[in-house]
């Protein structure tokens, strides 16, 4: 409600941030400095029509991406109804209108890429507008949603285990379960005859991954994801965030960034930290967690400085998230991989 | 290298029981942050390792022995038909055989892996050097990961099971059940019903707030569910795998209450934040298109506020709350915002 008095951008942001508008934090926070956005990347962004609040982009014949500037979903016309992939709550209220702009076909099926609220929390609304549509998800996601009983994420009507080929009219979409992001699993969705793929929350075009390497809960699988995607013959990808579809070149850049973070932190772990360790022991004594924490903080900071210096001119968000990315890679390098 | 370093320093710190920060000189030139000292009531529970040997063997119950170096914990069980080792942390991996020989003449015949992480099982090769040909038992998820890794520091299990298994040897009966509170590949509840001893590694360090990121959990949903599962066992000794002493049922209840407080606190702050307002203020500084910066401006103050509350409520009850409270709020925020 309060959001309606704010300018369009604020409403958008409020929605994209799924706001629960009740109280306010202490306003006088001093905000840190971040580098400005890169002009070359800004240029590629698809801007939503400020009056409508969204943009529809034709990716390939019959395949469309919808975005409000921060999230992306996809829909496909099949001759036998529209298949919708994801329903982010930030623009779910506009999806029916976006579809109607391009096709007279009704929405007949909704696919969940994974269970996170920010990508499928508009599904309750879609189902209300289009009662009786099928909702398809992988079994791990379905199980979690059955447990949650969340009306904004209705329980799927159809599930499959590990892999499935969805055929509706002219559409053939191959879906394979992955584990690069959420504990319950993610879908790698490929439309082979159109060379389009959708794989949400692995990386973005032109920007670094979000906090915690796109919040991955499984760094081991996340690192494998880039080669798995590379092996698929595609030329357009819907990554789920920002407003730009990705290309194979974006994938190569993202892989190179993540590989650099991983190598950098591994190299730092292999260095001699005895001097800092001695100082920390002197100061904290038997407070073992304190000793460990200053060592880890020092390693993360060093990694973030290196990554920021190498990548700030190539991707957006490097100075914002590099430390968080280094942290995620450090946990993997130290506890799962260990010293070599 | 750093694993060894950390392990060594954790052990040294605890074993030497050094005078802690409360005794630090007034002129602190370390350049390191201040943390509260370990509360005396918790410090007095620490089982001091013999500084010459570098470890301690303690009989917890008849036939059930704890080995600890102050940083790590493992168990072994005498059965009349040979010794079963439960974990082999590398921090004292070369000393496990002599630790066993201190209390029994039985040979080591079997080793169980609690989970796949190096810091709890990569002392295995040291054990195999002296006791070649022993059985190594692990749950199938862990075994599959170790087969894929083919890492000489973590020999591939010779026996595996799926879900649950009862190990019977001589006088010992050990019930094992698969869980998912910590590592991606799965964790084990290891229970000795006749002795009321439960081993559940990386659930909680008794007396202390958890390690970074809520003991590095990769699945906070299952981590939260873990407390009731632990408390459903009839046990009076819990071996959590870390720091200076085993825990009681009360320690589990305290850790549960701490974790729930972190979760409810960050959820209340998150849901009560006027997100549109915070983002609008941040946009005045960063611009509407720097969405990553807007996200940080939104999330950082939530975690700061959560950490302040948690530190103020828990620092007297648990050690090291101020070291990792913000990290714990971070883990719970990801769950509250994206999964919940």
Is the pLDDT higher at B160 or at B27? B160
The answer to whether residue B41 neighbours chain A at the CB level (below 8 Å) is no
In sequence order, which residues have a C-beta less than 8 Å from that of residue B122 and are 6 or more positions away? A338, B88, B89, B90, B93, B153, B154
The answer to whether residue A144 neighbours chain B at the CB level (below 8 Å) is yes
Mean pLDDT of B25-50: 89
User: Cβ–Cβ of B339/A117 closer than 8 Å?
Assistant: yes
User: Nearest CA to CA, how far is A194 from chain B (Å)?
Assistant: 31
- Residue B63 structure tokens: 């036939």
Mean pLDDT of A283-298: 94
Q: In whole angstroms, how far apart are CA B42 and each of A242, B233, B235, B314, B319?
A: 48, 25, 21, 13, 7
Cα dihedral A304, A306, A311, A313, rounded to 10, equals 110
Centre a 10 Å sphere on the Cβ of residue A192 and count the other Cβ atoms it contains: 14
User: Cβ–Cβ of B274/A25 closer than 8 Å?
Assistant: yes
DSSP A230-265: HTS--SEEE-SBSS--B-HHHHHHHHHHHHHHHHHH
Nearest to B73 by CA among B235, B207, B190, B240: B240
Q: ipTM for the complex? A: 0.87
Predicted local confidence at residue A29, as pLDDT: 54
In sequence order, which residues have a C-beta less than 8 Å from that of residue A37 and are 6 or more positions away? A316, B287, B289, B290
User: Nearest CA to CA, how far is B47 from chain A (Å)?
Assistant: 12
Phi-psi region of B99 (alpha: psi -120 to 50; beta: other; left: phi over 0): alpha
Query: How many contacts, defined by CB atoms under 8 Å, are there between A and B?
Result: 252
| Rounded distance between C-alpha atoms, residue B34 and residue B31, angstroms | 9
Q: Write out residues 298-317 of B within 8 Å (CB-CB) of A.
A: 298-299, 301-302, 305
Residues of A in contact with B293 (CB under 8 A): 34, 317, 320
Predicted local confidence at residue A340, as pLDDT: 63
User: Cβ–Cβ of B243/A288 closer than 8 Å?
Assistant: yes
Predicted local confidence at residue A50, as pLDDT: 86
Q: Give SS3 for B89.
A: coil
pLDDT digit string (tens) for B135-172?
Answer: 999 999 999 999 998 999 999 999 999 999 999 999 99
Residues of A in contact with B213 (CB under 8 A): 331
The answer to whether residue A77 neighbours chain B at the CB level (below 8 Å) is no
Among all chains, which residue has been given the structure tokens 């508009």? Answer: A122
The answer to whether residue A186 neighbours chain B at the CB level (below 8 Å) is no
Among all chains, which residue has been given the structure tokens 């499928």? Answer: A120
User: Nearest CA to CA, how far is B44 from chain A (Å)?
Assistant: 12
User: Nearest CA to CA, how far is B303 from chain A (Å)?
Assistant: 12
Which of B275, B277, B288 faces A9 most closely, judged by CB atoms? B288
Residues of B in contact with A18 (CB under 8 A): 275, 337
Among all chains, which residue has been given the structure tokens 């829909």? Answer: A75
The answer to whether residue B116 neighbours chain A at the CB level (below 8 Å) is yes
| Rounded distance between C-alpha atoms, residue B17 and residue B282, angstroms | 47
Predicted local confidence at residue A24, as pLDDT: 40
Nearest to B121 by CA among A217, A289, A218, A335: A335
pTM for the model stands at: 0.89
Residue A27 banded pLDDT, cuts 50, 70, 90: very low
The answer to whether residue A44 neighbours chain B at the CB level (below 8 Å) is no
Q: In whole angstroms, how far apart are CA B251 and each of B105, B210, B230, B236?
A: 34, 12, 11, 10
**Range of A4-8, A107-111, A287-291 with top mean pLDDT:** A107-111
The answer to whether residue A300 neighbours chain B at the CB level (below 8 Å) is no
φ, ψ at A82 (rounded to 5°): -90, 135
Predicted local confidence at residue A337, as pLDDT: 87
pLDDT digit string (tens) for A63-121?
Answer: 999 999 999 999 999 999 999 999 999 999 999 999 999 999 999 999 999 999 999 99
Q: Are A239 and A65 in contact (CB under 8 A)?
A: no
| Rounded distance between C-alpha atoms, residue A194 and residue A63, angstroms | 9
In sequence order, which residues have a C-beta less than 8 Å from that of residue A216 and are 6 or more positions away? A180, A181, A222, A328
* A259 pLDDT more than 80: yes
Q: Write out residues 196-235 of B within 8 Å (CB-CB) of A.
A: 208-209, 211-213, 216, 218-219, 221-222
pLDDT digit string (tens) for A66-82?
Answer: 999 999 999 999 999 99
Q: Give SS3 for B59.
A: strand
Q: Write out residues 229-258 of A within 8 Å (CB-CB) of B.
A: 242
Q: Are B137 and B160 in contact (CB under 8 A)?
A: yes
The answer to whether residue B292 neighbours chain A at the CB level (below 8 Å) is yes
| Rounded distance between C-alpha atoms, residue B31 and residue A282, angstroms | 12
Q: Give SS3 for A280.
A: helix
Pick among A203, A272, A290 to test the B interface (most B CBs inside 10 A):
A290
Which of B145, B212, B276 faces A21 most closely, judged by CB atoms? B276
User: Cβ–Cβ of A293/B323 closer than 8 Å?
Assistant: yes
């Amino acid at each position: 409600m309060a959001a309606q008095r704010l300018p369009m951008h604020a409403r958008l942001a409020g929605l994209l941030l799924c706001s629960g508008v009740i109280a306010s934090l202490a306003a006088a926070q001093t905000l840190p400095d971040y580098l400005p956005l890169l002009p070359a990347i800004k240029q590629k962004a698809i801007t939503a029509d400020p009056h409508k609040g969204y943009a529809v982009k034709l990716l390939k014949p019959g395949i469309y991406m919808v975005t409000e500037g921060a999230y992306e979903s996809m829909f496909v016309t099949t001759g036998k109804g529209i298949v919708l992939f994801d329903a982010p709550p930030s623009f779910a209220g506009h999806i029916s209108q976006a579809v109607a702009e391009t096709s007279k076909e009704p929405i007949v099926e909704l696919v969940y890429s994974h269970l996170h609220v920010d990508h499928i929390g508009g599904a309750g609304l879609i189902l209300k507008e289009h009662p009786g549509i099928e909702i398809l998800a992988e079994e791990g996601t379905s199980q979690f949603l059955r447990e949650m009983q969340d009306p904004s994420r209705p329980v799927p009507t159809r599930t499959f285990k590990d892999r499935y080929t969805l055929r509706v009219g002219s559409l053939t979409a191959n879906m394979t379960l992955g584990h690069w992001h959420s504990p319950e699993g993610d879908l790698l969705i490929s439309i082979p005859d159109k060379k389009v793929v959708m794989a949400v929350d692995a990386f973005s075009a032109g920007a670094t991954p979000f906090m915690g390497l796109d919040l991955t809960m499984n760094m081991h699988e996340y690192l494998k994801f880039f080669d798995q995607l590379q092996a698929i013959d595609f030329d357009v990808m819907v990554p789920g965030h920002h407003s730009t579809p990705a290309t194979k070149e974006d994938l190569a850049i993202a892989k190179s960034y993540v590989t650099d973070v991983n190598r950098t932190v591994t190299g730092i772990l292999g260095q001699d930290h005895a001097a800092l360790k001695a100082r920390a022991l002197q100061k904290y004594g038997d407070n073992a967690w304190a000793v460990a924490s200053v060592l880890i903080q020092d390693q993360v900071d060093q990694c973030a400085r290196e990554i920021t210096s190498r990548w700030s001119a190539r991707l957006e968000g490097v100075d914002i998230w590099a430390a968080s990315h280094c942290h995620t890679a450090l946990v993997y390098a130290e506890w799962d991989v260990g010293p070599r | 290298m750093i694993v060894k370093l950390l392990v060594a320093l954790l052990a040294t710190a605890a074993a030497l029981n050094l005078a802690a920060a409360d005794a630090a000189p007034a002129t602190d030139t370390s350049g390191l942050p201040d943390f509260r000292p370990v509360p005396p009531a918790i410090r007095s529970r620490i089982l001091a390792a013999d500084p010459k040997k570098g470890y301690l063997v303690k009989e917890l119950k008849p036939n059930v022995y704890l080995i600890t170096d102050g940083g790590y914990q493992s168990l072994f069980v005498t059965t009349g038909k040979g010794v079963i080792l439960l974990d082999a942390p590398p921090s004292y991996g070369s000393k496990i055989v002599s630790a066993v020989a201190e209390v029994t003449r039985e040979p080591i015949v079997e080793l169980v892996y609690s989970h796949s992480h190096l810091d709890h099982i990569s002392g295995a090769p040291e054990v195999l050097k002296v006791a070649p040909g022993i059985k190594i038992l692990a749950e199938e998820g862990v075994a599959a990961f170790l087969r894929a890794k083919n890492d000489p520091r973590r020999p591939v299990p010779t026996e595996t099971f799926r879900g649950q298994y009862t190990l019977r040897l001589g006088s010992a009966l050990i019930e094992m059940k698969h869980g998912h509170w910590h590592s991606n590949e799965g964790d084990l509840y290891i229970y000795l019903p006749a002795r009321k001893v439960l081993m559940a590694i990386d659930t909680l360090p008794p007396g202390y707030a958890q390690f970074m990121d809520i003991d590095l959990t990769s699945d906070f949903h299952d981590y939260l569910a873990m407390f009731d599962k632990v408390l459903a066992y009839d046990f009076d000794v819990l071996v959590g795998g870390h720091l200076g002493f085993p825990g009681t049922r009360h320690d589990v209840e305290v850790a549960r209450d701490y974790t729930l407080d972190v979760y409810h606190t960050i959820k209340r702050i998150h849901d009560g934040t006027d997100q549109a307002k915070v983002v609008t203020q941040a946009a005045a500084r960063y611009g509407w298109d720097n969405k990553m910066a807007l996200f940080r401006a939104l999330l950082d103050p939530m975690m700061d506020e959560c950490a302040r509350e948690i530190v103020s409520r828990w620092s007297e009850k648990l050690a090291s709350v101020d070291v990792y409270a913000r990290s714990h709020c971070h883990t719970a925020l990801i769950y509250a915002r994206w999964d919940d």
